[in-house]
């Protein structure tokens, strides 16, 4: 059965309008179980002009053969596959997780879907790259998955049925981004420092963790919780590339001093 969309979703979106917005946007599917849903997501991407699909730890090994990718077989074949979410997001500067708040308490900023497009446009204007991340069909993104996200976007749905099929969720999010590009496609790019990439933030987080361990900040049993909290904190700070390098240098210097002091003691 074909799902019906709200009336305002029936507007035609010119291809030129979508292309202006979507090229530096990655669609990331985390641990999808059904290849048909991956194919449906690829089809939705082709509908709205998106061309960068990343699949993280897929359940089925033959997902590239999904017949549901009608009109988008090349997109499915050219998709990248990663073993972990950190690898998949390493080059992105704004990571947007998707999901419902029905069974979770958000640890990052929550934005409505209609409010997302201007944020994406601003990030692209300053030279960033955006990832829109979707979780597996059964339970969505986990708390740990979301610790790599700067924002959590919630699709407005009826409380009686808050969850959506993966392919439908991708289609609704991409339509919203593409259609709202019409209002901002003539925006002059903002001259600003390049934003920090997710990979750069992960490198900084690892050095901070090493420094905490060298300083005996907390017991080893707290290591996993500290890693989670540091990932979230660094993304909330919205650091640019230069500030990230400076902070990285600072913590490396502190770490070097701590290790050398321990050698001399």
38 closest CA partner among 67, 10, 16, 18: 67
Q: Which of 115, 177, 152, 113 is nearest to 235 (CA)?
A: 152
pLDDT at 221: 84
Residue 18 CA, distance from chain mean position: 19
Q: Is 7 exposed, middle or buried (0-12, 13-18, 19+ CB in 10 A)?
A: exposed
Within 10 angstroms of residue 54's Cβ, the number of other Cβ atoms is 20
pTM of the model: 0.79
* Chain segment 18-56, per-residue pLDDT in tens: 444 556 899 999 999 999 999 999 999 999 999 999 999
Instruction: Using only the alpha carbons of the chain, give its radius of gyration.
Output: 20
Give the position of tokens 């001399």.
Answer: 264
Confidence of residue 191 (pLDDT cuts 50, 70, 90): low
| Per-residue model confidence (pLDDT) at position 99 | 85
* pLDDT (0 to 100) of residue 265: 58
Q: What is the pLDDT of residue 93?
A: 95
Query: What is the CA 142 to chain-centroid distance, rounded?
Result: 13
Specify the pLDDT at position 98: 93
Mean pLDDT of 83-90: 95
Inform me whether the pLDDT recorded for 246 exceeds 60: yes
Largest CA-CA distance found in the chain, in angstroms, rounded: 72
Return the SS3 of 102.
coil
Task: Give the mean model confidence (pLDDT) for residues 194-200.
Answer: 92
Other C-beta atoms closer than 10 Å to the C-beta of 202 total 18
Averaged confidence pLDDT in the chain? 84
Q: Find out if CATH 3.60.10.10 is the number for domain 11-183.
A: no
Q: How far apart are the first and last CA of the chain?
A: 72
What is the average pLDDT across 215-238?
89
Q: In the predicted model, is pLDDT for residue 187 greater than 60? A: no
Residue 236 pLDDT exceeds 80: yes
pLDDT for 101 equals 78
Q: Residue 181: what pLDDT? A: 65
How confident is the model at residue 13, as a pLDDT? Answer: 40
With contact defined as beta carbons under 8 Å apart, do 259 and 238 qualify?
no
Task: Give the span between the Cα atoms of 222 and 228, in whole angstroms.
Answer: 10
Q: Which of 89-93, 113-117, 182-186, 217-221 has the lowest mean pLDDT?
A: 182-186
Provide the H-helix boundaries in the chain: 15-22, 35-48, 73-77, 85-88, 113-125, 143-146, 166-180, 198-214, 223-236, 241-264
Q: Which residues pair with 53 in a beta bridge?
A: 27
Q: Is pLDDT of 85 > 90?
A: yes
Closest CA to 28 of 183, 178, 110, 135: 135
Which residues have a Cβ under 8 Å from the Cβ of 40 and sit 6 or more positions away?
A: 68, 69, 165, 166, 167, 168, 170, 171
Confidence of residue 1 (pLDDT cuts 50, 70, 90): very low
Residue-range domain boundaries for the chain = 11-183, 198-264
């Amino acid at each position: 059965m074909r799902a019906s969309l709200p009336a305002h979703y029936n507007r035609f979106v010119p291809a030129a309008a979508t292309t202006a917005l979507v090229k530096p946007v990655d669609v990331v599917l985390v641990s999808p179980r059904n290849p048909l849903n991956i194919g449906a997501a690829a089809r939705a991407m082709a509908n709205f002009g998106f061309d960068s699909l990343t699949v993280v730890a897929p359940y089925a090994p033959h997902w590239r053969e999904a017949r549901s990718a009608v009109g988008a077989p090349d997109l499915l074949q050219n998709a990248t596959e990663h073993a972990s979410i950190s690898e998949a997001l390493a080059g992105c500067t704004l990571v947007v997780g998707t999901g419902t708040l029905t069974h979770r308490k958000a640890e990052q900023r929550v934005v409505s879907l209609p409010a997302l497009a201007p944020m994406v446009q601003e990030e692209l204007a300053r030279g960033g790259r955006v990832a829109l991340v979707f979780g597996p069909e059964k339970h969505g993104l986990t708390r740990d998955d979301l610790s790599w996200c700067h924002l959590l976007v919630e699709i407005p749905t009826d409380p009686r049925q808050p969850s959506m099929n993966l392919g439908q969720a991708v289609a609704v999010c991409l339509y919203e981004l593409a259609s709202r590009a019409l209002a901002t496609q003539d925006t002059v790019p903002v001259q600003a420092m390049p934003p920090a990439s997710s990979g750069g933030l992960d490198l900084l987080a690892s050095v901070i963790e090493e420094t905490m361990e060298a300083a005996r900040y907390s017991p080893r049993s707290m290591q996993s919780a500290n890693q989670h909290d540091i990932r979230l904190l660094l993304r909330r700070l919205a650091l640019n590339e230069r500030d990230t390098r400076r902070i990285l240098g600072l913590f490396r210097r502190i770490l070097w001093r701590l290790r050398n002091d321990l050698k001399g003691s």
